[in-house]
Each structure stands twice: as structure tokens, then as C-alpha cells.
Chains A and B, each alone.
Chain A
Amino acid sequence: MAGNGIHIAEGGAPTGALSAADWRDYWSLLKPRVMTLVVFTGACGLFAAPGHLPPFLAFVAILCIAVGAGAAAAFNQWWEADIDAVMKRTQARPLPSGRLHADNALAFAVILSAASVMTLGFATNWVAAGWLAFSIFFYAVIYTIWLKPRTPQNIVIGGAAGAFPPIIGWAAVTGDVTTLPLLLFAIIFAWTPPHFWALALFVRIDYANAGIPMLPVTHGVRETRKQILIYSLVLAAVAVAPWALGLLGAIYGIAAALLSLIFVALAVRVAASRTENAAEMAAEKALFRYSLLYLAAIFAALVVDRGLA
């Protein structure tokens, strides 16, 4: 057996051809699409913070946040390879498909975690590096290993894992965490449940087959729709809070109010829907798509508001 997990037969010919991973398999371990959102919210936290960071160090900080998020995603895929193998949506990933060896994926995740945290600490400050380390730990251990397989509230608490980037970006500039970055954290935290539950409603069969206790599987479609509406109202309140508290100006306040109003309207449509057939869940699909736009728009409004202040 070779050191990289490729089995070599007695005659010298390697076996298990599919385990020879390409660099693209490692790249996909990082969940690049999720990384995009992390980079965006982290960058917004960084640009919104008072103070100045040289452009190159700002670039390094955003890069470290992205790589740290990618490392957490790699931990997640390493731990959930058996679950991913059951779900249609994830069957083609490098680990369940057998293209990548589990040990290599774990080593990759550990190296990236250490490199991103140390580099961020060296480039900016150790407060930001500490938050990055904690966010990786939170996603990999508290969410993936502990909560996700045990409780239907996995998304609620796990949502915190994706909410750290604005705090890290802010801390990279200021070396401190104040009310505004905590509110940005709260926005992503409250946004995550309606976003993921909208998705979980129309892919709940997959989650049920994989044995993951997602809310639509454990408490049914009706209860999930009710929870989506409740969290949407919480999100709307949290989203306008930075303006209401005088931390941000009217540009942000008007944008947050309008965007949240549409969000709640779509959540009301979801709550009013009665269908259990995934193919007919147009309201849920619309909310899921809009939720992505919502987060991007609200953080863009934050940067514009701070930029003009």
C-alpha cells in the first residue's frame, strides 16, 4: 500500500484506480459555493469595521476566512461520508464516490485549519484568529459531530457556525468585537433556519433516507412551515435592529425593512401552503432562492451605508 492510500498489488500495479484523487476533488471538499457566501459576509464585516487595514492584509484576512470555512466543510464531508453516500444530492462527492481516501481528506482539513488560523493571527491579530479557530471547531465538532445527528434543532444552533465570518472580518480590523458585528452574527443566525428548512421541505425524503433528524422529518411539514414563519419574523426584527439602535443609517434601514418585508411575505406563503408533494412546493423553492438574495442584499446595503457614512 502506498502512503497516499493507493493500494499497490504484489506485481507492482496499483489497484483501486478511483481513489486517485484529482486536485479538483480536494477543491470540491471545500464546498466552494458555500465559501462564496462566507467570503462575502466576512468581507462585509471587514469593510464595515471602523479603522484601516492595508489592502494586502485585508485580502489575506478574507482568504483566511475562506480557507477556514473550506477546512470546516472538509471536516464535515470527512465525518458524513457514509450519510452523503445515501443522499442523491451528495452521492457524487469525492469521499462517497471513492475518489478520495478518508485519511487524506482529514489531513487536508487539519492542515488548512491550522494554516488559516496561524496565517490570520500573523497577518492581523490573534483575536480574529481565535474567532476563526472557534468557528471551525463549532462547525466541525459542535454542529457536524454533536448536534446534526442528534436533534432537529441542529440547524438553529448550527446556524451559528455560518454566522461567524462578519465577526472575524470586523475583529481583523479592530481586534475587538462590539454590538454591530454581534448583530450581523444575529442576522445570519436567524436567517439560517428559514433558509435551510425551506430547502429541507422539498428534499426531506433524502434526509429521512439518510436518518438525519431534520425538522420536516421529525416534526412534519406543517410544524416546519410554522417555524419558518416564526424565524422569519425574528429575522426581520434583528435585521432592522442596527438601524433602530442608531448603529447604521437610513440607507441600510430602508433596505433592511423592504428586504425583510418580502422575506416575511414569502414565509407567509410557505406557512399557508398545504402541499406535501416536493414537486409542487413552489412557495418553498421561492423562499429558498430569495433567502440567498436577501442575505447578499442586506450585507451589500450595510457596506454602502458604512461607505457613505
Chain B
Amino acid sequence: MSWTPQEEQEFLARRRRRNIMIGLVLGAFALLFYGITVSRMVQ
């Protein structure tokens, strides 16, 4: 079974959105740990 060009385009768009979201979450996670470290040092 193969995809139609439209289905493939939809798949690629979903994957792109998912990858962008993973990047954002990982960036936020790094910032979170930076913030935790600073807060604990100040505390």
C-alpha cells in the first residue's frame, strides 16, 4: 500500500510540527534547569 501525494504531504507536515514541538520542549527543559539551578543557588 502506498500513499497518495496528498497523504504524504500531510504526513510530512505532521512530522515537521512534531519535531518543532520536541525542539521547543527540550529548549524549555534546558531553561527550566538553568532557572532551578539559579534559584537554588540564591536560596
Seen from chain A, the residues whose Cβ lies within 8 Å of a Cβ on chain B are 6, 9, 11, 13-15, 17, 20-23, 26, 54, 56-57, 60, 63, 115, 119, 122-123
Contact = CB atoms under 8 A, between A and B. Distances in A.
Given A13-B2, A115-B29, A60 B8 contact: no
Given A14-B11, A20-B11, A54 B2 contact: no
Contact of A54 (B3, B32, B43): B43
A14 B8 contact: yes
Interface residues of B, number: 22
A60 B18 contact: no
Interface in B1-43: 1-3, 7-8, 10-11, 14-15, 17-18, 21-22, 29, 32-33, 35-36, 39-40, 42-43
Given A14-B11, A23-B17, A57 B40 contact: yes
Q: Which of A9, A17, A122 has the most CB of B within 10 A?
A: A17
Contacts of B10: 17, 20
A56 B11 contact: no
A54 B39 contact: yes
Interface of B: 1-3, 7-8, 10-11, 14-15, 17-18, 21-22, 29, 32-33, 35-36, 39-40, 42-43
Contacts of A123: 36, 39-40
Contacts of A9: 1-2
A23 B16 CA distance: 10
Nearest to B6: A17
Given A54-B39, A119-B33, 5 more contacts: A15-B2, A20-B11, A20-B14, A23-B22, A57-B40
